[in-house]
């Protein structure tokens, strides 16, 4: 009945090439991210009023319950991300899990819309956290499947851009619509986006699913190198390819006759020896266990925590600062985030640079650049036009630095998994690889930072003031640059050692060749 939409064994679905193209899938994932963040953000200006009028919460207790709901969301994201990552890597189709996330998002939005008690509000926030886990874990893994690790930086730039736009527009539109059209009109916007999201996610066709129809259209001549790479199963193609510059610097092995040469003889013996209890145990461990053993992955997670901490810290102190310093209302408090968000429009460009040159120095420079401008925010302390202009300029420069760090670090997760897979036998991480579980770790790190940031900045600002809070944020940024420079893109010490060894080999070959 719906073969024109989903296809059959004999006939492909309509508009197959477009629906399975890289561009369309990037649009679908970016829209899913925008919808998820928008549904989360529009309730921010509504909650203080809804809790008092619908849940009968006393005005003095509103701040406490808002903080609890923020923690509930982060906790749900923290707990469900690894579960959905494990499931997504074990299922044949990521699209099915992607659709489940949409169902959860719709349920959470409906629950928050009709909520009239603390229990329903809390349950709705839990489901929002779970839906966010699906979108970020499965969506980002789907992007890697589609564009490949070598182009993931540019794709992540568009994802970061959609996230930033949602962060800016959701609270602003939520407040304006609530003030002029009422409570239910706010959720009408969310349901409208969810309908659009449903259409796009149903229309999308995964690249690996499309291959069974596209294969019939290919010429009978031998495939090119690019075609062969495209047809390889996810998580396998990179294992026998030499590492690209700047991305897989921690891989010391080469490929000989299609088999990886492992730098660690003990590891190779365990993986390739005859079956043993240890080997059996290792083979049944989820890939996320091996990812935790990578210092490169752990460094990327730490950078994610600190990146999230810096971004979410502004949520708790910036609106109050402009209210107390400039006397701005809620609209002005929302618009002050615009300079930070505008900087994220450079995300796709930064992503392409990360794909070309590697993530190490881009991410490091991002944290270094953000440091002085975070500290200089302390110079804004009185209500004049010049001070307002200075604040906007400093926030824009902070946004550039944070964007320089965010996009390469998001791509670094895929680069690290690629490097880890290359050190193990073909198919060690399963048919789908371990990208979903890797981005589950990214989500856990981001959730941890989103809980640390508001608490750290809010408590310091309350006890020691705005200058001390901005000084601490600047110190956090520069300290994060150190492990980022060392481990992002692989250990910098291994890279230097390999360069020396290659130089020595070149000199020896030159001497042997003679004059």
Domain range list for the chain: 15-203, 282-509
Helices (H) and strands (E) in the chain, counts: 23, 2
Kindly report the pTM of this predicted structure. 0.71
Q: Choose the CATH number for 282-509 among 1.25.40.10, 3.40.1260.10, 1.20.1250.20, 1.10.150.120.
A: 1.20.1250.20
| Domain 282-509 in the same topology as domain 15-203 | yes
CA torsion 313-170-115-74 (nearest 10°) is -30
Based on the number of CB atoms within 10 Å of its own CB, is 367 exposed (0-12), middle (13-18) or buried (19 or more)?
buried
Which residues of the chain fall below pLDDT 50?
1-2, 4, 216-267, 270-271, 507
Task: Give the H/E segment covering residue 287.
Answer: helix 287-292
Distance CA 130, CA 110 (A): 15
- The answer to whether 147 touches 135, Cβ cutoff 8 Å, is no
Fold annotation for 15-203: Growth Hormone; Chain: A; (1.20.1250)
Confidence (pLDDT) at 341: 81
Confidence (pLDDT) at 243: 39
């Amino acid at each position: 009945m719906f073969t024109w939409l989903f296809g059959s064994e004999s006939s492909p679905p309509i508009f197959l090439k477009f629906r399975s193209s890289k561009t369309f899938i990037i649009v679908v994932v970016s829209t899913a991210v925008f919808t998820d963040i928008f549904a989360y953000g529009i309730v921010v200006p509504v909650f203080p009023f809804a809790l008092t009028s619908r849940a009968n919460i006393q005005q003095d207790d509103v701040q406490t319950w808002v903080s609890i709901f923020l923690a509930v969301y982060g906790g749900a994201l923290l707990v469900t991300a690894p579960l959905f990552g494990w499931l997504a890597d074990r299922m044949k189709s990521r699209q099915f899990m992607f659709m489940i996330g949409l169902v959860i998002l719709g349920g959470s939005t409906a629950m928050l819309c009709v909520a009239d008690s603390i229990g329903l509000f809390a349950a709705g926030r839990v489901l929002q956290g779970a839906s966010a886990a699906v979108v970020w874990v499965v969506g980002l893994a789907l992007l890697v499947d589609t564009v490949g690790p070598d182009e993931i930086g540019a794709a992540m730039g568009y994802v970061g851009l959609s996230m930033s736009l949602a962060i800016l527009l959701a609270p602003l539109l939520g407040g304006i619509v609530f003030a002029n059209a009422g409570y239910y009109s706010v959720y009408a916007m969310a349901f409208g986006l969810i309908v659009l999201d449903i259409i796009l996610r149903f229309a999308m066709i995964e690249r690996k699913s499309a291959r069974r129809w596209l294969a019939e259209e290919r010429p009978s001549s031998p495939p090119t190198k690019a075609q062969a790479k495209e047809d390889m199963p996810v998580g396998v193609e990179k294992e026998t390819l030499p590492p690209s510059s700047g991305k897989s610097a921690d891989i010391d092995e080469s490929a000989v006759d299609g088999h990886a040469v492992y730098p660690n003889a003990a590891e190779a013996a365990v993986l390739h020896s005859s079956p043993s209890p240890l080997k059996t145990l290792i083979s049944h461990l989820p890939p996320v266990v091996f990812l935790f053993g990578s210092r490169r992955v752990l460094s990327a997670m730490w950078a994610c925590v600190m990146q999230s901490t810096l971004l979410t810290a502004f949520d708790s102190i910036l609106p109050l600062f402009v209210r107390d310093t400039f006397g701005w209302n809620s609209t002005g408090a929302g618009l002050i985030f615009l300079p930070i968000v505008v900087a994220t429009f450079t995300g796709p460009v930064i992503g392409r640079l990360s794909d070309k040159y590697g993530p190490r120095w881009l991410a490091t420079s991002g944290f270094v650049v953000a440091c002085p401008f975070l500290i200089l925010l302390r110079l804004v302390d009185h209500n004049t036009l010049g001070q307002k202009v200075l604040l906007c300029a400093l926030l824009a420069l902070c946004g550039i630095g944070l964007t320089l760090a965010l996009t390469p670090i998001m791509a670094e997760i895929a680069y690290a998994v690629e490097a880890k897979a290359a050190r193990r036998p073909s198919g060690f991480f399963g048919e789908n690889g371990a990208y979903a579980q890797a981005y589950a770790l990214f989500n856990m790190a981001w959730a941890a930072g989103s809980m640390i940031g508001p608490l750290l900045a809010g408590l310091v600002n309350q006890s020691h003031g705005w200058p001390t809070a901005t000084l601490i944020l600047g110190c956090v940024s520069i300290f994060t640059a150190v492990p980022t420079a060392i481990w992002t893109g692989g250990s910098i010490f291994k890279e230097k050692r390999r360069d020396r060894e290659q130089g020595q080999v070149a000199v020896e070959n030159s001497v042997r060749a003679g004059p």
